[in-house]
Amino acid sequence: MAQFRVCPDSGFYFDKSAESLMKANAVAGAVCLLIAGILALGVMLTRWQYVHLLPADMFYQVLTGHGINALIFWVIFFEMAILYFASSTLLRTRLAAPRWAWAGFALMIIGMVMNNIAVLQGNSSVMMTSYAPMQADPFFYLGLILFAVGALIGCFVFLGTLVIARADRTYEGSIPLVTFGALTACIIAIFTIASGAIILVPTWLWSIGYIGHIDAAMYRVIWWAMGHSSQQINVAAHVSVWYLIIGVLFNARPMSEKVSRSAFLLYILFLQLASAHHILVDPGISSEWKVFNTSYAMYLAVLASMIHGLTIPGAMEVSQRAKGLTKGMFEWLRKAPWGNPVFSGFFFSLIIFGFIGGITGVVMGTEQINIIIHNTIYVPAHFHATVAVGTTLTFMALTYLLIPVLFRRALFLPWMAKWQPYVFSAGMTMMILFMLGAGTLGVSRRHWDMDFTGAMLSFEYPGTAYTMMGIAAIGGILGVLGGAMYLIVTVGSLLFGKKLDQSAGLFQSFGVPLASSAYNVNQPERLPMAPKLAVEEHGSAGFEAPGTFVLAMALLVCFVVYYFINWDYLASVWPLS
Amino acid sequence: MSSFLPPSERIWWNTPVGKQEIIWVGIALVWCLIMFLMMPYWHIYGKQNLSNEAYQTTPAHFQVKVDEMVAKHRVGDESGIPIVKPPAGSDVYMLGRLWQWYPILELEKGQSYRLHLSSMDWNHGFSLQPVNINLQIVPGYEMVLTVTPDTAGEFTVVCNEYCGIGHHLMLGKIYVKEN
C-alpha cells in the first residue's frame, strides 16, 4: 500500500500519518505562540512604567500565561513536529504507532487547554515556576502533567521510528547528523519529563490535599531539573535545525561528523543536572556542589555550543567557497541569500543566541557573579536571547521551509516573510540589551510596579533604569510585531497560499492528508550515504573556513571581556562571606 | 544536503578532523577551564562569596529569634516598623513575610555582622539596592552570611521573588552609619 509522497522540490519523502502529525503539532504550536505573543504585549505595556497598563493581579496572570505558552507549549509542540520529521521524513520510513502518536497529541492539547483555563480563571497566577508553597489550582498542575505525558509518548514514537528504520534498512550506514541531534533532544526530553513527574505529581497531590507539605528548597532543586533541561531540549533541537537549514540551502555538510556528533553528546552528558544554575544563591546548598554542578570542572556543555558555533557557519562557508565565493574573508557571507527568511532567520538566531544568549548565560551561571544578577530582569533578558530568538526564530525560519515542502503551499505575502526575521531580531535584540542594562541596575523581574506605589517604605530606582525599561518595551513591541508578521504569513499561506500540487485543502488535511493519488510511493529508495569530502579523504591542509574562524574569535573576545567586566562589578559590592 | 544524509563512512568516528576545528576546540576548552578556575580562585582571593552556613528552621522558631533581637536593640521606629541597632560583630536577623522585610537594621560601616535571613511564608528575594546583592530566601531555611557594609547611607531591600499580589509593596531598609 502506497503511503509515501515525495516532495518534488526538496526530494523529501513524507509518510502519510507522520505528515498529518507534523502539521497538527506545528499548527498547535503556532496557536500557543499567538497566545504567548498577545500576552507579551500586556507584560511589556505594564513594565513600561510610563504606560503601566494592567492592574497587578492581571499582570501576574498574564505573565504566568505568557511564560507557560511560550516556553513550554509553543516550543514543545513544534519540537514534536521536528522529531517526526527527523525520524520518519529524513530516514524515509513509516512512523511507528501513529495511533499512539495521535493519543499523545490529544493529551498535549487537553493539558494545554486545561492549564490555560486554570490560569485564565485567575487562581493560578503562580508564574511558570509555581514555587511551592505558593499554590495553584489543581488543574494547573494536572494540565502540565497531561501535556508532559503526551510529549513523552511522542518521544517514544520517535525512538520506535528509529528502530523501524533500522530494521527495514531504509538508510545506509549511520543515521544522519540532523537525526542524531534530534535523538539527543529526545533523550534529554525523556530525562526532563521524568524530573517533571517527580516534582509535579506530588505538587498536584498536595494541591488536592493528599500530601501535607512540599519542601520549598527541594521543590526548587527538582523543578529546575525539569525547567533547565527543558531549555536544553530546545538547544539540541534548534542546533539540529540549523544543520538541516545549511544542508537544504547550501548543500552543506558538517566539516567533521565526529566533532559535531561529539558536541551533541556533550549536551547529554554535561547538562542534565543543571538545575544548579538556578539555586546559586539559595540556602542550604554548599559552594562546592554549586561550583561543580554548574561546570563539571570544565564547562563541556558550553564547549559543545562553542563547537557548533564554529562548525555550522564553517560548513556553510566551506560550501559557499566551493561554489566560487572565495573573495576575502566574508564574500561567502555577504553573498548569502539575505532575502530568504529561511537563511536570515537561521543566521540571526545563531548570532544572537551565541553572542548574547550564550555569553550572558555563562556569566550569570557563575556561582559568585550570580549574586549581582539573580532574579533581576537580566535573567529574562538572557533567556529571551536563547529561547525567544535562538529557538523561536529558528523554528520560524524552519516554518518558511516547511510551508512549501510539508504543506505544499506557496508563501503568502512573501515580502512580509522576507522582512519578518529582520523586524523580529531587531525588536528582540533591542529589548534584550536594554533589559540586560536594567537588570545590571538592579531592576527585578516579575515585578508589577518599580515605583512601589503604596508601600510603607519607599525606594527609587535611578532614572536610567526607567529609560531602559521603556526602550526595552518599545523593542519588545517591535518583536511582537515581528511575531505577528510570522503568524500572518503562516496562517495566510495555509489558508490562501497557492497550492503547489493536488491538495485536499487545509482542514481535511489534518486527518486525511493530500489526495490519495499524491501518495504513490510504496517504499522510498534507500537513503544513500553522503559522498566523501576531499577533507575526509586527505585530511585538511589548512583553514577551510577562515571567515568563520574570525567570527569565532570575535565571539571569544566578547566573551572574555564581558566575563571579567562582571567579576570587576562583583568586586565592587559589599564583602560577603 | 549532506547534513541530512548518513555520513560518508560507516565508522564516522575514524574520519580525520580538520586543523581549524582542532585549534578552536583547544582554545574553547582552555577558556572553559579558566572560567571554572575563576570560581575556586574567587573563593580563596575574592571578597564576595556566600557562606555554606544554613539551617532548617520553622517560621515560629525564627520569629522568636527576631523578636529577641528587636526587644534588646530597638532604637526607634519608622512607619511602624522597629529600627534595630545591634552591636558590631553580632548576629542580626531579618525576616521576609507577606509583604514586608522586618525589622529595619542600622549597621556600622566597616563592621562585620552575621546576617540571618528566612521567610515566614513563601519564597522571597532579598535584593539589596542600590548595591545589587541578590539572595533567595526560602521558607523553612535560615541562611547565614557575614556581611561587611563598606559604604554608608540608606539601602533598600526590594523583594525580587514573586510573592503574590502585594509583591511590589514589600520593601525593607538597612541604614549604614559612619562610625
Report the CATH number at residue B66.
2.60.40.420
CA distance A112 to A33: 12
| Among candidates B148, B156, B161 on the partner chain, residue whose Cβ is nearest the Cβ of A574 | B148
Q: Are residues B21 and B90 in the same domain?
A: no
Q: Are residues B16 and B76 in the same domain?
A: no
* Pairwise CB contact (< 8 Å): B28 & A255: no
Chain B residues with CB-CB distance to A299 below 8 A? 32-33, 35-36
* B49 and chain A in contact, CB less than 8 A: yes
* Pairwise CB contact (< 8 Å): A368 & B122: no
The CA R_g of chain B, rounded to the nearest whole Å, is 24
Q: Are residues B32 and B74 in the same domain?
A: no
What is the pLDDT, as a whole number, of residue A507?
45
Whether pTM > 0.90 for this model: the answer is yes
CA distance A415 to A233: 32
* Pairwise CB contact (< 8 Å): B15 & A258: yes
Q: Are residues B157 and B138 in the same domain?
A: yes
Q: Are residues B20 and B71 in the same domain?
A: no
User: Domain boundaries in chain A?
Assistant: 337-450+460-500+544-577
Task: Tell me how far CA of residue A24 lies from CA of A79, A105, A279, A289, A511, in angstroms.
Answer: 12, 8, 37, 43, 9
How confident is the model over A227-268, as pLDDT tens digits? Answer: 998 999 999 999 999 999 999 999 898 888 999 999 999 998
What is the pLDDT, as a whole number, of residue A534?
59
* A552 and chain B in contact, CB less than 8 A: yes
What is the pLDDT, as a whole number, of residue A509?
44
With respect to residue B39, please indicate whether it lies within any of the assigned structural domains: yes
Q: Are residues B64 and B26 in the same domain?
A: no
What is the pLDDT, as a whole number, of residue A515?
57
* A417 and chain B in contact, CB less than 8 A: no
CA distance B23 to B27: 6
Range of the domain at B26: 12-45
- For A50, the 3-state DSSP assignment is coil
Cβ neighbours of residue A324 closer than 8 Å, sequence gap 6 or more: none
* Pairwise CB contact (< 8 Å): A459 & B129: yes
Contact between residue A245 and residue A341 where contact means Cβ atoms under 8 Å apart: no
* Pairwise CB contact (< 8 Å): A247 & B38: no
Tell me which residues of chain A, numbers 354 to 373, contact chain B at a CB-CB cutoff of 8 Å: 362, 366-368, 370-373
Q: How far is CA A221 from the centre of its chain?
A: 22
The stretches in chain A having pLDDT less than 70 are 1-2, 272-274, 501-518, 533-542
With respect to residue B4, please indicate whether it lies within any of the assigned structural domains: no
Number of C-beta neighbours around residue A525 at 10 A: 10
Q: What does DSSP say about strands B74-78 and B81-84: parallel, antiparallel, or unpaired?
A: antiparallel
* Pairwise CB contact (< 8 Å): B134 & A60: no
How confident is the model over B105-118, as pLDDT tens digits? Answer: 999 999 999 999 99
With respect to residue B149, please indicate whether it lies within any of the assigned structural domains: yes
What is the pLDDT, as a whole number, of residue A284?
86
Q: DSSP letter at B126?
A: E
What is the pLDDT, as a whole number, of residue A511?
40
Chain A residues with CB-CB distance to B172 below 8 A? 457
Tell me which residues of chain A, numbers 457 to 496, contact chain B at a CB-CB cutoff of 8 Å: 457-459, 461-462
With respect to residue B3, please indicate whether it lies within any of the assigned structural domains: no
What is the pLDDT, as a whole number, of residue A160?
97
Show the cell assigned to A111. Answer: 493539558
* B10 and chain A in contact, CB less than 8 A: yes
To the nearest 5 percent, what fractions of chain B are helix, strand and coil? 30, 40, 35
Q: Residue A22: which of A89, A118, A68 has the closest Cα?
A: A89
For the residues B125-146, what does the mean pLDDT come to? 95
| Among candidates A177, A258, A281 on the partner chain, residue whose Cβ is nearest the Cβ of B134 | A281
What is the pLDDT, as a whole number, of residue B108?
96
What is the pLDDT, as a whole number, of residue A68?
96
* Pairwise CB contact (< 8 Å): B3 & A177: yes
* Pairwise CB contact (< 8 Å): B79 & A459: no
- The count of structural domains within chain B is 2
* Pairwise CB contact (< 8 Å): A372 & B132: yes
CATH 1.20.210.10 applies to domain A337-450+460-500+544-577: yes
